[in-house]
A = this chain, B = another copy of it.
Amino acid sequence: MANALRVLAMDAVEQARSGHPGMPMGMADVATVLFTKFLRFDPTDPAWPDRDRFVLSAGHGSMLLYGLLHLTGYPGLGIEELKRFRQLGSITAGHPEYGHTPGVETTTGPLGQGIATAVGMALAERMLNARFGDGLVDHRTFVIAGDGCLQEGISHEAIDLAGHLCLDRLVVLWDDNRISIDGATSLSTSMDQQARFQAAGWHTETVDGHDGCAVEAAIARALAAGKPTLIACRTVIGFGAPNKQGSESTHGAPLGAAEIAAAREALGWTAPPFEIPADIATAWRAAGRRGAAERARWAERLEASPEAPRFRQALSGELPLEVFAALREHKRTLSAKAPSLASRKASELALEAINGATDLTVGGSADLTHSNLTITKGLETVQAGRFGGRYIRYGIREHGMAAAMNGIALHGGLVPYGGTFLVFADYARGAIRLSALMGVRVVYVLTHDSIGLGEDGPTHQPIEHLAMLRATPNLNVFRPADAVETAECWEIALRSRATPSVLCLSRQNLPTLRTRDSEENVCGRGAYVLREAAGERDVTLLATGSEVELAVKAADLLAADGVEAAVVSMPCWELFERLPAEERRAVLGTAPRVAVEAAARLGWDRWIGEGGAFVGMEGFGASAPAPALYQHFGITPEAVAQAARSVMRRTS
């Protein structure tokens, strides 16, 4: 049965003239044991909530996964799709893509992401188990990881967190083949991985990855270990290719016709490409039916459970209407009271409303809880053995946090949000990108969003980060100007089922500018006229977040000079882009435009046009109190007013 996986991988890579045969051939035996003896799944219902999760962290070995999905009978994965491996429009992409192929639990390829995402899945499983009990939630998360996954830094964050939380239903099968792209792993690492995982509180096993019985026994011990487990599977990369196996030449290129023929010979495989002998195909189909009865029993338990409505609601991903009602009421209060609040504080208030109205949201922070203001009243900390809580101490691990949130969102049943400083979006970039690529609802609460953070200085002051995030497809980047906008942005983030959100929030206080309550979620337009000019516009001032206040003050200065300025708040460019062109034009107006944002200019020219001006940062920040920095870098109402006068002259 394992040879079927090997041959499919060889043949599909050869046909595509592109791909990675080495890993599937090396791990075929391990995967066969896992899928025929342990993994609980049912190809007729790939989304069965209590299925085991399987994550191919070494995503380049995608043909291993496609082979498994094909042989066990997943829908849509007929042999024709395998023949179209890596071709346009196929569901057999170069790396496994979530949402693209049934049975693919998460997108992998960027190394280490899979294992870190799996930590989130395993955590979500325990958290849902604590809420719904063994009868409804009782599954495992299995990972196949390669040397690259374990060399990447994110793996450290992931295994430390998993060990700390004692996620004993997580099993990582490490393809210990001692080969990476450049050659022997001994070129670049001397790590004792077993000792390293033990140091993080994991159970470890070491087996011959081509000895099915040994692998089976090791997995069985892992399931009883009471800790997360690493199984080091000693394998030969490209196993079965007689002249190339054990060498990096099998890693990322087709084996070639001659070597494939030799491998068929060596493996005793006589069937032509893409044909599986009937007995082997039958055995695999039987493996694919192993879970059906269990799923049926589970479905009966769910039917009989008094928790069924609550469980279904959680798994549906729909937040209860109470959340939005609470936010609506909260917004009304804010407009009436018009407090002066940092937008991070406004976010905390919004979260009080949200978390009070649902228990589906789970918060956390990368060790900046009282800076990000991500915890609300009554949220208990999640700890090993105490998974009923709703607040995750992610530690000083931004990348691991982001990937874990991806895993929680993918698992289903919970809505994750987590905080760090905006500047440390850098550290989480790899996983934020995957949030966007997969289209999962993860909310990043990124505070201290400009030089306004003050004394910590340029290492902590984001400059290019708004541009970096705005350039990312399918990511909503919010920078609310006041508490009302913050509440609206939170609402949009929670309603965006297929798009992650970033909330960029100030450290410093901001006045409430939206003092007139509105039924509409105005931020849903992305940008809007916060304050129209009294007469015909002489100039339009564009701003986001903490700089909207500056734009309003600049408009006051200009008005005193008889210049009519409108102020446009632009909390979310992505949403504004989606407005019909004429609505966008109405907001931006035909008068010359000045933008102000305490960040890099890149991207703003789209809104200010060639005649416009930008007031913002031209280099890195500095260490000083925030008001001194705004003065120093010339981001002031006076500077905005002056820029307005200058663009008016230029165009008149």
In the complex, are the beta carbons of A368 and B181 less than 8 A apart? yes
A201 at the interface (CB under 8 A from B): yes
In the complex, are the beta carbons of B18 and A182 less than 8 A apart? no
In the complex, are the beta carbons of B628 and A365 less than 8 A apart? no
In the complex, are the beta carbons of B400 and A459 less than 8 A apart? no
Surface stretch bound by B, among A30-38, A92-100, A551-559: A92-100
In the complex, are the beta carbons of A396 and B609 less than 8 A apart? no
Whole-angstrom CA separation of A464 from B469 in the bound complex: 8
Scoring A residues 150 to 184 as 1 if CB is less than 8 Å from chain B, else 0, what string do you get? 01111111001101100000000000000011100
Question: Which residues of B lie under 8 Å from residue A153 when comparing CB positions?
Answer: 152-157, 397, 399-400, 427
A471 at the interface (CB under 8 A from B): yes
Interface majority SS (helix, strand, loop, mixed), chain A? loop
Surface stretch bound by B, among A272-280, A318-326, A598-606: A598-606
Minimum CB–CB distance for A55 against chain B, Å = 14
Known A151-B395, A189-B164; judge A602-B600 contact (CB<8 A): no
Surface stretch bound by B, among A192-200, A260-268, A309-317, A512-520: A192-200
Minimum CB–CB distance for A31 against chain B, Å = 21
Known A163-B191, A188-B161; judge A396-B180 contact (CB<8 A): yes
Considering only CB atoms and an 8 Å cut-off, how many residues of chain A contact the other chain? 107
A460 at the interface (CB under 8 A from B): yes
Whole-angstrom CA separation of A198 from B195 in the bound complex: 8
In the complex, are the beta carbons of A97 and B457 less than 8 A apart? yes
Surface stretch bound by B, among A1-9, A123-131, A429-437, A482-490: A429-437
Closest to A632 in B: B88
In the complex, are the beta carbons of B467 and A473 less than 8 A apart? no
Question: Which residues of B lie under 8 Å from residue A371 when comparing CB positions?
Answer: 181
Question: Which residues of B lie under 8 Å from residue A394 when comparing CB positions?
Answer: 188
In the complex, are the beta carbons of A623 and B393 less than 8 A apart? no
A329 at the interface (CB under 8 A from B): no
In the complex, are the beta carbons of B109 and A460 less than 8 A apart? yes
In the complex, are the beta carbons of A94 and B623 less than 8 A apart? yes
In the complex, are the beta carbons of B423 and A471 less than 8 A apart? no
Question: Which residues of B lie under 8 Å from residue A358 when comparing CB positions?
Answer: none
A444 at the interface (CB under 8 A from B): no
In the complex, are the beta carbons of A471 and B19 less than 8 A apart? no
Question: Which residues of B lie under 8 Å from residue A623 when comparing CB positions?
Answer: 86-88, 90, 93-95, 97
Question: Which residues of B lie under 8 Å from residue A463 when comparing CB positions?
Answer: 471-473
In the complex, are the beta carbons of B430 and A180 less than 8 A apart? no
Question: Which residues of B lie under 8 Å from residue A437 when comparing CB positions?
Answer: 458-459, 620
Copies in the complex: 2
Whole-angstrom CA separation of A606 from B609 in the bound complex: 8
Closest to A91 in B: B623
In the complex, are the beta carbons of A433 and B426 less than 8 A apart? yes
A440 at the interface (CB under 8 A from B): no
Known A147-B396, A152-B397, A605-B605; judge A474-B370 contact (CB<8 A): no
Which listed residue, B95, B188, B201, touches A164 by the CB 8 Å rule? Answer: B188
A651 at the interface (CB under 8 A from B): no
In the complex, are the beta carbons of B473 and A618 less than 8 A apart? yes
Interface residues of A in 375-414 (CB under 8 A from B): 381, 393-397, 399-400
A622 at the interface (CB under 8 A from B): yes
Closest to A158 in B: B153
A456 at the interface (CB under 8 A from B): yes
Question: Which residues of B lie under 8 Å from residue A86 when comparing CB positions?
Answer: 455, 457, 623-625
Interface residues of A in 448-472 (CB under 8 A from B): 454-460, 463-464, 467-468, 470-472
Minimum CB–CB distance for A59 against chain B, Å = 7
A447 at the interface (CB under 8 A from B): no
Known A199-B195, A429-B429; judge A188-B603 contact (CB<8 A): no
Whole-angstrom CA separation of A88 from B396 in the bound complex: 29
Minimum CB–CB distance for A527 against chain B, Å = 15
Which listed residue, B16, B370, B628, touches A88 by the CB 8 Å rule? Answer: B628
In the complex, are the beta carbons of B191 and A107 less than 8 A apart? no
Whole-angstrom CA separation of A151 from B18 in the bound complex: 37
Closest to A18 in B: B455
In the assembled complex, 6 residue pairs joining A and B whose CB atoms fall closer than 8 Å, in A order, are A86-B623, A110-B459, A181-B369, A182-B393, A187-B381, A192-B199
